Structure 1
């Protein structure tokens, strides 16, 4: 009977870790923070017991201060920082805590001072080097890198290149970040570093390589939503729709907390469904994206782009106009957004659905395009773009050049292109259109003069050679 009772006591003790060990004495900051947030009174009791039992344990007291700081309780953190300073033994944990508290108060100079002291006190302890580099990366990247290279020299056993890569990533210097990430095997990178590596490659424009990195990261960390998200985006952009569909489903399955789903996830899900030939289902996802991001500035612009991608120009136009209506800043340059709106009207007018015939509906859409491009030229009178596209819209409304609607706008675009040494292809098109207009009107000298200008830019242009041949025959 005695043995049975003893066994029961042993089992009860083993099943009660709080009794067996004081959480605030464990050194596990996350567990300490959890207790501070869930039961601050009990946490305080445990702290008092821990310090009473080991009042000269500098590292323990500093760790308690760090836990309170991480829980957002700066005053308590300062209390234990000062208490740890009174201990007989000097500790880098204490000195670093001083820097952390200063940083929490936005006092970067004081933070740099404490981290500098910690580096001086123990040259081989990496924590202060890492924290110092984070503080100065935006003001003195050279100093930050220098400190990390120094600890790398002293401690070749540490994966310092990962820290350097993270600095460059945080400073948006993706080229340097990628170079550092690439020097490390995947197995030595943290989960965050792998995510940032893939994001850096994506932001540098290499979708194929970004997919490779994200896929390797996903094999190591299969439950990381950021890596699955990157795979979805990259597979979609490369039109690997079947694979992207699996990514989209997995991402939504993983994100059981809907607050962690981004509106861009729904946008890309919609792109995938449209790519697989399911436009109606794609629209459902776009509407979910809009509902998700109703308070996000510029969401209507993103939704407009989404509808443009699936060829729904009416909704793309609607949301672009909604976006423009939200702009109240009088100094904002609306010309780019207006140009995109004009292009939406243009694409609608020239879409397969609209057909080749010049119907009243098509003319109405072209007039809208022409009006919007007119606004662009008013806002950017020194750019050929508004005039050029205004000319093209008018040319479609006057395909036989009967009224010469496009002529003045081609001339205005050409004047700017010639003045600024613009793109030859655009100049040749303007010359060609004007030459053909004068040919139709039987004003051969002008038609020939423009054809000769084309030949100077492109001696093999078939239109110019043919017109000059006709002009020579007529002579």
Structure 2
């Protein structure tokens, strides 16, 4: 009988040990971002304790690592009504945060903490993790709870707590405090690879490879099994050194769980190696059995590969499919690629420029925004679209934080050119060009105000724009601007450089006064013109005719005046 009791006791002890082992295994797999292995371990543990809130929480984290947010939600909903289990309350709080019910979530988090009398560092860390991971979570609240957890564990603080605290600061875009806490984690355990990895991520957001590459390498040195660091190095070298990228991908594949992310990376490297058709074929083979969350990437990859093969119809189909359900890898450059595909394939011009506007809105680097604008201006030129060209040349000026005279001049000049082009096309004379002449006039007004040293050109083009709006010279819209231009140009120490503009202005004023039958002013401007072009036979003839006319008037030579 005693033997039987001993066997039962041993079985119970062994069962508890196996249960505990599977939970710890699951957490360790999460640390290595081996989400499928973590899921398997937690499922095994949950089979023995179906309603356990903590196991459910961690299983949900594994599901989200596998991009199965629906699976995680289903798990959390099953335990969310258990108000006696702090981890079940954390699950409920996460669901509420994701639904925008922040106040309800906070109540559940506080209740979870109160159930343990704020003495359980793991519960405090779990509350913090949710607030860090969920976009609508409160990073400052997470910092508060993690500091409480660290205070509870002050005799032996695990590196994971410092890394979590670093993550909270990273969410606040406080890189300094984030790195400080990651370093604290390394002081607690120099082999804690995740701390090096997280420091690398901070520097990578700053686009500083001289800092982040060594950190990823240090993570691998600290723990050669830490797969995420291999992945980041694979990504780093992807567009820099494809052979090195392949080497890191091989290491990542060896240390990560088989699954969609590994499959995806191994197809991506085919594209980087310029094996475009192979990348397309492999993508098509994987798509039917790929989880929905991973499918968009394949469509994007195929679009890029099709573009490289100049198969623009297929490229359009695939990039459109990608944009219909984009994944979290969507970047501004993807919109630029779409614009390129549509341009090369001869597809909708409106869509081309709509994609580029999205790229500009999405990108956070001003240099990239400027590049997209320049690219759009070049495309509008190639497409012979003067309206788009005027818009994008204007954007070059408007987006420059320190604009220069050339950019503003180019905008006004392009508006004038666009107006001229539209007028030439407007066989019905509907006046579609007029708004562009008016805008050109306005822009050159700005040019005069902002860059007065170049005002001669500003007045000249204001005059030209107003002349275009009043071709019959009935209103004399260009007169004040030509007068100002002539005065400013002739009095300038650089007047010799403005001869062309002066002559155009004088010619206009001569025509204007002839039309007004103000021959005195007409002769005055003819004399001014002949200073610049004394051999001009046309104006010499007009001068002679007018002088004889005035001589007859002075001498009383009759009524005809001719």
8 Å contact kept, 1:37–1:71? no
Partner residue, 1:288: 318
Change (3 A) 1:40 1:27: closer
Is 1:341 the counterpart of 2:373? The answer is: no
8 Å contact kept, 2:233–2:248? yes
8 Å contact kept, 2:109–2:127? no
Q: 2:352 aligns with which of 314, 320, 331?
A: 320
CA shift, 1:24, in A, is: 1.0
The separation in 2 between residues aligned to 1:31 and 1:66, in whole angstroms, is 13
CA shift, 1:269, in A, is: 1.5
Q: Which has the larger radius of gyration?
A: 2
8 Å contact kept, 2:279–2:305? yes
The separation in 2 between residues aligned to 1:30 and 1:42, in whole angstroms, is 13
Is 1:306 the counterpart of 2:332? The answer is: no
Give a deviation string over 1:403-447, Cα, whole Å, max 9, x none.
xxxxxxxxxxxxxxxxxxxxxxxxxxxxxxxxxxxxxxxxxxxxx
Change (3 A) 1:217 1:41: closer
CA shift, 1:31, in A, is: 4.3
Is 1:382 the counterpart of 2:406? The answer is: yes
Partner residue, 1:141: 175
Change (3 A) 1:140 1:267: closer
Is 1:252 the counterpart of 2:290? The answer is: no
Q: 2:165 aligns with which of 114, 117, 132?
A: 132
Q: 1:77 aligns with which of 88, 109, 114?
A: 109
CA shift, 1:127, in A, is: 2.7
CA shift, 1:377, in A, is: 5.8
Q: 1:269 aligns with which of 302, 313, 328?
A: 302
The separation in 1 between residues aligned to 2:360 and 2:128, in whole angstroms, is 43
Is 1:213 the counterpart of 2:245? The answer is: no
After superposition, residues 62-461 of structure 1 pair within 5 angstroms as: 62-72=86-96, 74=105, 75-85=107-117, 90-97=119-126, 99-100=128-129, 106-123=137-154, 124-137=157-170, 138-159=172-193, 160-169=195-204, 173-185=208-220, 188=224, 190-202=226-238, 205-221=240-256, 223-241=258-276, 243-245=278-280, 247-257=282-292, 259-262=293-296, 265-273=298-306, 275=308, 279=310, 283-294=313-324, 301-307=336-342, 311-312=344-345, 314-315=346-347, 317=349, 319-321=351-353, 323=355, 335-342=373-380, 344-345=382-383, 368=384, 382=406
The separation in 1 between residues aligned to 2:73 and 2:299, in whole angstroms, is 37
Is 1:23 the counterpart of 2:51? The answer is: yes
CA shift, 1:111, in A, is: 2.8
8 Å contact kept, 1:339–1:373? yes
Change (3 A) 1:328 1:17: closer
After superposition, residues 54-69 of structure 1 pair within 5 angstroms as: 62-69=86-93
8 Å contact kept, 2:53–2:79? no
CA shift, 1:81, in A, is: 1.4
8 Å contact kept, 2:182–2:199? yes
CA shift, 1:287, in A, is: 1.4
Change (3 A) 1:182 1:236: same
The separation in 1 between residues aligned to 2:46 and 2:217, in whole angstroms, is 44
Change (3 A) 1:344 1:19: closer
After superposition, residues 456-475 of structure 1 pair within 5 angstroms as: none
SS of alignment partner, residue 244 of structure 1: helix
Give a deviation string over 1:262-298, Cα, whole Å, max 9, x none.
2x6334314434655xx55x52342132144158798
CA shift, 1:247, in A, is: 4.4
Partner residue, 2:546: none
The separation in 1 between residues aligned to 2:140 and 2:359, in whole angstroms, is 39
The separation in 2 between residues aligned to 1:21 and 1:377, in whole angstroms, is 66
CA shift, 1:134, in A, is: 0.9
SS of alignment partner, residue 116 of structure 2: helix
User: Structure 1: any 5+ residue segments left out of the alignment?
Assistant: 1-9, 49-60, 346-367, 389-475
SS of alignment partner, residue 336 of structure 1: helix
The separation in 2 between residues aligned to 1:324 and 1:41, in whole angstroms, is 45
RMSD: 4.9
8 Å contact kept, 2:260–2:294? no
Partner residue, 1:470: none
Corresponding pairs, count: 329
Give a deviation string over 1:74-129, Cα, whole Å, max 9, x none.
2333322111117xxx3322443454577677544343233223223324322320
8 Å contact kept, 1:198–1:210? yes
CA shift, 1:145, in A, is: 1.9
The separation in 2 between residues aligned to 1:171 and 1:142, in whole angstroms, is 12
SS of alignment partner, residue 195 of structure 1: helix
CA shift, 1:152, in A, is: 1.3
CA shift, 1:315, in A, is: 2.7
TM-score (normalised: structure 1): 0.53
The separation in 2 between residues aligned to 1:174 and 1:140, in whole angstroms, is 19
SS of alignment partner, residue 183 of structure 1: helix
Give a deviation string over 1:328-373, Cα, whole Å, max 9, x none.
99xx98852542314644xxxxxxxxxxxxxxxxxxxxxx278866
The separation in 2 between residues aligned to 1:35 and 1:322, in whole angstroms, is 36
Q: Which stretch has the larger CA shift, 19-28 or 285-294? A: 19-28
SS of alignment partner, residue 85 of structure 1: coil
8 Å contact kept, 2:377–2:388? yes
